[in-house]
Structure 1
Amino acid sequence: MKIKRIVIHNFKRFKQLQVELSSFDCIVGANNSGKSTLLQSLALFDFVLHNCLSVKQVNGNNTQKVFEIKNRSIAPEEFVVLPVANAIDLWTDKIAQKGGKHVLIQIEVEFDNEKYVKASVDLNFNRYSISIETEVDQNWLKELVSYKISYLPVFSTFLTQEEKRTQAVIEDALSRGRVNSVIRNLLYDLKQKGEIHYLERVLQNAIPSFKELNIKFDEVTDKYIDVSYKEEGKNKSFDLFMAGSGFQQFVYLFGFIRLRNPNLILLDEPDVHLHGTMQASLISELKNLQRTEDKQIIFATHSRDIISRIEPDQIITLNEDKATRLKINFEIYDLLENLGSFDNIQIAQLQEFKRLLVVEDHDDWKFVQVFGKKILGEADWQKVEKRLSIFPAKGNPYKQDMVKLKEQLTAMFRLNSSGNPLKLFVLADWDYYPYRDELIKSLNQKDVNIKYHVWGKAEIENYLLVQDALIRLVKFKNETKNLFTDPFIDEFNSLLDKSKSIVLDKFAKAVEEYSHSERKGWNITKMNSEAQKLLDSMWDNNKLSITDAKEYILPGLKRWLQNNGFSQFSDLSLAESLEVSEIDNEVKEFIYKLADFAGVRVNKK
């Protein structure tokens, strides 16, 4: 049974979207076109479907079952399929009521057997109300109960060690999209079911040097599951954590798929971390899965290599909230994708001034705009903006090939035809890279026309962690309520203390990436030791600089406000509430450098 059509209403960026699906579909489109949102809508459909379908036994008879449809109310913390900072974030334009009426998120699905299911999500008193509508036929409901959709988000590196978990803990992690945190448990289950040879075959096809997987765990003596692998011609085994990211990604994808055996597989950018040869192996294995095991597979990608290996009628293009099957001219695909990041004004500015600011995403640019206006004043900042073109890199730009980007844009817009070369100013989050000075030195040696500024704090959101500004903003948002600031600050400090373990994990992942990229060959003990040293050297005096402001501190403060009946704030409004005197000196220096880069003379204040 396969889905042949989906219609989405009021979900995230889609007010309404209809998509015709086939057995094997590749979703492409410019940044922010809704590729991930389309996949998430199907994951949401699966969540609502299985939470609203129930099975009961008749008169205690285990052999006779009745399938029922029930509406349910679910708290935000239990809505694990799509965790968001605020429940309203799931609705288009954050509107869950209009004209006194509730606006429902609805996912309508038509299967290839002509059966129809509509899943609905409402918001009542900050709880999700979910329901489904379909034909009430016992055979059909039984078929729906056994129908499974699996959504695998963008790959994350495995943990250094992993304890044996109960099935309930494993299921909870999987429901939250944290496959990487229980991958060894999944591999252990795969071995227990005699299915590990399938994964070994897939790995051997993709990586000729791979020989075998070894999975060990003793229920009596072991705390951690030991997963290692061997390569041809080598006697030594290597821990799974030491494997390259491409190897880990194949284990992540095909180990999970084999164990869970879903009917519909949803993959968000499965090509990340894979070079061209492994991307070819990925597509080959996915097509084989679809053909031999009758799976339906839908995945989103930016990879030109992958798109060029797929038949045109298997490609769905998202553009301006419309989904179309198009025959793409692969020779101009890169051009179209890059053009999607610029409007006509940006292109004109790029051709005239040849100054490009590269940022991680549009949110980072919005923060820069706020800081620029405050530090330079409205008039001078407008002069700077008029001379800059902005390129969102969709990820940390220091991990991407900026030299290649400069060359592509130069050729694309013929920027060599008149004198001065194209120049780039790259603004990047530090992202816990172990040795920042070494990083900046190596980056600035790559091209004289590419400048880098890597934030001294973990991310740009860390510069918003100013207590006075937080208190001012929260009081303003809640001026009609009696908000006591002491409990709010206590919560801030509590979150800060609790984030220490999160920061250690981030350092551990960064050290692991560094060891692989620089070919250090460090073992787990060495990497963990380096991560702990980094944390110990910075935490006491710089915790506000290295804490996880973006994903832990600021969302945690918003949850506290919500749970205590107070109005929340946006990160952008927090930036706007900062006084110039409260803005970090590093941010001020960056803005002055940016003005100089744009060719605008300003007076430092």
Structure 2
Amino acid sequence: MLKYLKIENYRCFEHHEIEFKNLSIVVGKNNAGKSTLIEVLRLVAIVINKYQTSNYEPPPLQLGLPRISRGIRPSLKGIDISPENLFYHYKTGPARIEVEFENRTKIEIHVENSDIIYAMIYDNKGRMIDSKKSAQLLELPDIRILPQISPLPEKEVILDEFYVRSNLNSTRTSLHFRNQLKYNNNEFTKFQKIVSENWDGLSVHSLEGRDLGQGERLGLQIRENNFVAEVSWMGHGVQMWLQTMWFLCRCSPSSTVILDEPDVYMHVDLQRKLIRSLKGRYSQIIITSHSTEIISEVEPDNILLIDKSKRKSTYTTNFPAVKRVLENIGSIHNIQLSRLWSANKFLIVEGYDIEILKRLHYTLFPESNDPLDTIPNMSIGGWGGWNYAIGSRMMLKNAGDQTIVTYCLFDSDYYPESAINQRYVEAEKNSIQLHIWSKKEIENYLLVPTAIHRIIQRELRGRVPPSLTELQDHIDTLAETMKDNVVDCFSSELKHENKSMEIGTVLKKARIYVQNRWNDKLSVVSGKQLLSDLNNKLVTDYSYSISINKIAKELRREEIHPELVKILEAIEKITNFPLR
């Protein structure tokens, strides 16, 4: 797995450093350095492909390296690297590229021109590899980069097998796509399976002419629903998608898989399917992208903002930062209306609840065609925004489309039963599918000690985490300290509802009400505040904090509360919410 990359004096980078994670979505303005990054990674991949079969020799004199050094000079045949403007701001060479892997092995590449590429390889103890024999004992990670693909030729004949295999990663790869399928029979069945799994109605029907000899014509038949045709008759988007799936078939689970702007030729639904199919399948994924669809499928701390003007690329850490990134790269646009008519549903939530809900929805429905955050949605300020919910429903009704279902999710907070009942009556009157959480707020459903404990155990590597029992005790103790505040909150709502009631009577009724529910205190206290207090304790005791979204992502299917399951299932299937 790639861990660290340093680029010096190469094209648009004077001095730049990048740290990679197991999932890195690389974004940035046009001309920010994404293409150069991919080119650098291609050079690294070439070295990895050649380091065990190449001769080790002293460095070229032009590089000015110690003559005692030993390295390889890999051929760049078939790789489209322009010799123009190789060095930063028209300076002279050489350029230097340094990459370190998770196993602490390292590669150092020196570039003098497009003909002189020299790479030195180091083992995990910093010792230079000086021969083909010692290289055989070293294991470098496998890096696979999708070659530069293009629409397929209308006709393709059977070519020499050695030529086809030698040019799998060249810029000519699309010209012999059908030949690759012919000569990789073991992967062909896998290819058929991955295509049908990732595109509804699309399948690989047959490879015609596969048993014929060199010079004879090859044909790839593709079925789309009831229509079967040669692949060249299909749209360019289908052709590019098939080539991408074929590339992924040839990548092992331990590979670092790198894709350069796959969104350029994919429909938005396919972009989401692609990132979902990649996550968890390979040890590391690096994707450059402008796509809001791809960006919205990952956590903020997996979004790497590249900027050639800075010395180091950084990851975003929160959703406001992601929004700024989207605005900055010029990709954000209003696609809510167009989605509205295809999704046939509209979702109204409080605050940032959509970020919690989408993670729970993904756990329950990983193969969904409508990930929750692709559904047109609106955030309103809780109960005070009820008129916005009614107004939105009226707007959709006036637009003349009665098939769009409006779903609305509210926290119950400390509202009395009479106010909750009144809200349900108004919702039914306005044809809104309303659900008010039985717990205080959505964060209460994240108070699952087993899930929180797993995260802490995983993150506090090398340190002794609290036991599950200790964690449960911490949570229970923190909840107990909130009891008086809960009574005060209920008192305020009760007084608001009964303005003539004496304050003493209000407090007495509130205490009785809270006491009767205190056996289930984790449903009554503010889940948001309790998680905040727990975070403070973790910071004090372990210098570690845990995010709400991380807990939502961690919850297993069986840990998600049945109430949440029923609500998310209704939204997924576009059915009515269950009756109270």
Q: TM-score, normalised by structure 1?
A: 0.46
Q: TM-score, normalised by structure 2?
A: 0.48
